Amino acid sequence: MQSQVPVQVGQTYEVEATRLNDDGEGVATVDGFTVFVPQLLPGERANIVISAVEKRFARGKVTGELRRTEHVREVPRCHVFGACGGCQFQHVTYSEQLRHKREMVVQALARFAKLPDVPVLPTLGMEHPWAYRNQVQVPLSYDESSGRLVQGFFGPASHRVIATESCHLEPPEMEETIRQVVRSLESTLGHRSSALHHVIVRQSFTNGEQMVILCVRDNAVVTSPVVDAIAALPRVVCVAVTVQPRPHGPVWGKNVRVLHGKPHLVERMGDLEFLISPRSFFQVNTVQAEVLYNQALAFADVGPNDRVLDAYCGTGTMSLLFARQAERVLGIEVIDAAVRDARANADHNHVQNVEFTVGEVERVLPRRIAAGERFDVAVVDPPRKGCHPDVLKALAEAQPRRIVYVSCNHITLARDLRYLADAGYAVEKVQPVDMFPQTSHVECVASTRFTK
C-alpha cells in the first residue's frame, strides 16, 4: 500500500497546513496526498514524521520547530494537552474555535445536504470557556510497582491512562473531590483498589452539591469504610456504585445503587428544577444547555394551542420547557430509566400537560401517526447517528408546520435536513452552539418550516 503513495512511515517531510478538519487536525499535502497533522494550524509550516499511511491519507506528527500563526495560536493551559484525548483545541484562540465550528456546519450543509445557501449564524460561545463540565468520568489505573492508584484520562483512541490530577474543563472543587476520593480509595483498599476502573463525579451548578459514583469490577470492594470516607467529603451528598466487570468498553454496569445520601442532585434551568439521578442524562455544560434550549424554543415559536412532539426526549428537559408554552407535549424515549426521570421531573415541577412514553422513536412515532395523531411542532434531538429513516418518514407524513432539529453531529444533521427539504420543509437557518469549548465538537439547532 505504501508504494502507491508519495509518503512512507518514519520519513520526514516539510508541510504547510491549509485548513483544519472536523477533528481539529491540520490538513496538509505531500505531492497532492492528504496528511492529517494534530496541532498544526492553517498557515503554519513544520517538519513532520509520518506515523501511519492509509489508502487515501496519512497521519503525521510535528517534529522540531514550526512557523507559527500567532493570531490563532494559543498557549495550552493543560500540561497533558496532546497526550490526553479530551481536548483538541486548547492551542487555538477561542474566537478562532467559534469561527471554525461555524465553518464545519457550513461545509457539511453544502457537501452532504446540497444546501449551500442556508444561513448559518455565528457560533454562540461562552464568556468563560473553561471549568464548564458538570460531570466527569475519570479512568483509574493501579500501579503495582508503587502501590498507587493513578487517575487521569485516556489518550487519543486508546485505553492508556494519561496521569493527571487536573482538568481545566471541570470546576476546581470537582478536581479536589476526585483527588480526595482517589487518595481515600488508595489508603482504604490498598491493592484491592485495582478493582475500580472509573470514578464519576457530578456537580450541581445550582447549589454546588456533588454525587460520586464508583465504577467497579467487583462489588465486594465497596465496603462501609470506603463509603463513609467519601460521604464525609465536603459537597458530597450522594455515593453510588455500578458494577462493570469488563476492563474496557462501557463504563456503566446494568444497575446503579445509591449507597449513601440523596438519590439525586437538583439543577435549575429557568423557573424549572430538574432532579438528576446517578445515570440521568443531562447536558454536561449547564450554562450552554440553557442557551441551546432557549434557541430551540425561539425557533419552534410555540403557541398556547399547539401540540408538540419531543422525539428522543431523554429525561424530558426540553419537553418540560416546551410545556410552559404549549397545550400538550408528547415525549418519546427508548431508555426506561430516562422516562422515569422525566416523569419525576414533571411531577416535581407540577407540569401536567406532558406525556412521556417508552419505546424506540422509529416504532412509537409511526404507530401514533398512523392512528391519526398530529403535531403542530416537532422537536428532535437524536443521538450522533441522527434520526432513524422511519422517524423522518413519519414526520414527513404528519407534516407539523415546524420541525426544530437539535443535533450533536453536524454531518448527520446535514443528511437529515436534506431529507426534510425534499419532503417540503424549508431549512430557514442553523444556529451552532459551543457546548464543548476546547474540543472539536459542535452542537446545532436547525429551524425548518413546512411550505407545501
DSSP 317-351: HHHHHHHTTSSEEEEEES-HHHHHHHHHHHHHTT-
Distance (Å, rounded) from C-alpha 377 to C-alpha 22? 31
The β-bridge partners of 211 are 202, 238
Domain boundaries for CATH 3.40.50.150 within the chain = 101-127+285-450
Which residues carry out catalysis? Answer: 408
Q: What are phi and psi of 140, to 5 degrees?
A: -125, 145
Give the chain's radius of gyration (CA, Å): 24
Where do the CATH 2.40.50.140 domains begin and end in the chain?
A: 2-67
Per-residue pLDDT of the chain (452 residues; tens, 9 = 90+): 445 789 999 999 999 999 999 999 999 999 999 999 999 999 999 999 999 999 999 999 999 777 777 778 999 999 999 999 999 999 999 999 999 999 999 999 999 999 999 999 999 999 999 999 999 999 999 998 888 999 999 998 888 999 999 999 999 999 999 999 999 999 999 999 999 999 999 999 999 999 999 999 988 899 999 999 999 999 999 999 999 998 788 899 999 999 999 999 999 998 999 999 999 889 999 999 999 999 999 999 999 999 999 999 999 999 999 999 999 999 999 999 899 999 999 999 999 999 999 999 999 999 999 999 999 999 999 999 999 999 999 999 999 999 999 999 999 999 999 999 999 999 999 999 999 999 999 999 999 999 98
Task: Give the three cell numbers for residue 235.
Answer: 459537597
Q: CA–CA separation, 388 vs 391, rounded Å?
A: 5
Sign (positive or negative) of CA dihedral 299, 304, 309, 313: positive
Answer for the pair 442, 125: CB distance below 8 angstroms, yes or no: no
Sequence ranges of the chain with CATH classification 2.40.50.1070: 135-269
Q: Which three cell numbers stand for residue 73?
A: 495560536
Cβ atoms of 221 and 258 within 8 Å: the answer is: no
* Contact yes or no for 103/96 (Cβ under 8 A): no
DSSP string, 288-312: HHHHHHHHHHHHHT--TT-EEEEET
Does the domain spanning 101-127+285-450 belong to CATH 3.40.50.300? no
Q: How far apart, in whole angstroms, are the C-alpha atoms of residue 255 and residue 243? A: 7
Q: Domain 2-67: what homologous superfamily?
A: Nucleic acid-binding proteins (2.40.50.140)
Residue 335's contacts (CB-CB under 8 Å, 6 or more residues apart) are 281, 314, 358
Supply the DSSP string of 235-263, one letter for each residue. TEEEEEEEE--SSSS-SS-S-EEEEEE-S
The dotted CATH code for 135-269 is 2.40.50.1070
Burial track 72-106 (b if 16+ CB lie within 10 A, e otherwise): bbbebebebbbebbbbbbbbbebebbbebbbbbbb
